[in-house]
């Protein structure tokens, strides 16, 4: 079985390299999603319940 033309002795071949990069991208994406979910959960926890929020907005004269 001949070596691939892009084989480099100090480096894995391009296929596993690409798979590795895709894996990294997927992990990064998952990390971002988790971060967003955590942030949203945190924001949700810090907000007063919905009806209260309506009242506060009305009192403070904010328009959504």
pLDDT for 9-62, tens place per residue?
Answer: 666 566 777 888 899 999 999 999 999 999 888 888 777 667 777 787 888 876
Transcribe 9-35 into DSSP letters: TTB--HHHHHHHHHHHHHHHHHHHHHH
- pTM for this model (two decimals): 0.46
Res 26: pLDDT: 95
Tokens of 9: 């002795």
CB 13, CB 4: distance < 8 Å:
yes
CA 9 to chain centre: 35
CB 48, CB 56: distance < 8 Å:
yes
Alpha-carbon radius of gyration of the chain: 25
Res 58: pLDDT: 82
Res 31: pLDDT: 95
């Amino acid at each position: 079985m001949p070596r691939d033309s892009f084989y480099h002795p100090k480096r894995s071949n391009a296929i596993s390299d690409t798979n590795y990069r895709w894996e990294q991208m997927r992990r990064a994406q998952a990390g971002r999603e988790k971060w967003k979910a955590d942030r949203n959960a945190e924001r949700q926890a810090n907000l007063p319940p919905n009806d209260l929020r309506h009242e506060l907005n009305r009192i403070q004269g904010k328009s959504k």
